[in-house]
Amino acid sequence: MLSRSIARHRLMAELVGFLPLIIFLALLTYVGLNAPNFMTLFNLKLVLMQSLPVVLLVTGLSAVVMAGGDDVVSGGIDLSIPATAVLCAGITAVLLASGLSLFVASLAALAAALAAGAVNAVLITRLRMTPLLTTLAMFVALVGINNMVTSRRRINLTDGHIGLLREDFVFGIPLGIVIVALVVIVAYHLLHRTRWGLNLQAAGGSRDAAEISGLKVDRLVAQSYLLAAFMGFLTGFFVLARGNGYSPGVENNLMLEMVLANFLGAAFSPRRVVTMWGAVLGAVLVAAISIGLKTIGVNVFWTDLVKGALILVVVALSAISQRVQ
């Protein structure tokens, strides 16, 4: 009798864990039926191009979650990565507009990104502040700094090299997709095929066990925030390429899509935990939903409402699944 009850609870947990993915597939099916041109090769390229910034963001966020654990409140989270990306985009755009080279602008943006990552690391590993609140506060602070740097104005792209991420092709594939694919492969190797990556996962799996085994958990967590900040730096170039320059206010949508993709990615994992590949697939699905809803004429404000509701649904179903287990 007890074994039947356990089996029933496991089955319920599995079904609840798959519900976020089922909901997204249902939305995609609805969009596909109402937008005849949605399932085309051209639209697939558009979806992939649209997803590139979020793919880079969730790659960095995955490292933080792996190091700190997947508990939403006390585990690893970094909500400041989108603001870091937009700050890097703003710094790069301002310096290019002032006549400096892309190399100098990139160095300045990289310094800003690593500084933000270092502050997060110190506050969380040294002062023991809650990652969720710390990185949310950092998000607000970076947005404020970026508004001062850019004067919250539109800055047109002045460097042709960044435009190549959108316009150039390699064997018929957009250059941006090729570069992001290479970055994701390198990140996967780093997180899953190196000693450092395995130690990172061990730290997030059980902090006490990792410390007993001799791992320097705080150092690993700090390094994950620096890696996330670096991914934010890379994302900045794709933000500029996608918008053909800098436009204020894009950080909020980036954070919304990053969080949604990250938690949606857990549905692809047998253990219902955040994984890098799952988060990347989640980013592509989120981009497909955004473009699909726009294709069938849904107002952009309603699209944001749908994304926010989906985040609540995904997080709630994840909590329910854990309780059932």
User: What's the fold here for domain 2-324?
Assistant: ABC transporter involved in vitamin B12 uptake, BtuC (1.10.3470)
Q: Residue 40: its pLDDT value, please?
A: 76
pLDDT digit string (tens) for the chain, length 325 residues: 546 565 565 656 566 666 767 777 787 788 777 877 777 777 888 888 999 999 999 999 999 999 988 776 667 899 999 999 999 999 999 999 998 999 999 999 999 999 999 999 999 999 999 999 999 999 999 999 999 999 999 998 877 789 888 888 888 889 999 999 999 999 999 998 999 999 998 888 888 888 888 889 999 999 999 999 999 999 999 999 988 889 888 898 899 889 888 887 777 766 667 778 888 988 988 888 888 888 887 777 777 787 777 777 777 766 666 665 5
Contact status, residue 236 vs residue 89, Cβ threshold 8 Å: yes
| Sequence-ordered list of residues with C-beta below 8 angstroms from that of 19, at least 6 positions apart, any chain | 267, 317
Instruction: Name the residue ranges covered by the structural domains of the chain.
Output: 2-324
| Whole-angstrom distance, CA of residue 116 vs CA of residue 80 | 9
Is pTM beyond 0.75? Reply is yes
- The helix or strand, by DSSP H or E, that contains position 266, with its residue range, turns out to be none
Could you give the residue ranges of the DSSP H alpha helices within the chain? 2-34, 41-68, 81-97, 102-125, 131-150, 160-167, 175-192, 195-205, 207-212, 217-243, 251-265, 276-295, 300-324
Cα–Cα dist 238/245, whole Å: 10
What pLDDT was estimated at residue 225? 97
pLDDT of residue 110: 97
Contacts of 287 (CB under 8 A, 6+ apart): 47, 48, 50, 51, 54, 257
Strands 245-246 and 155-156: antiparallel
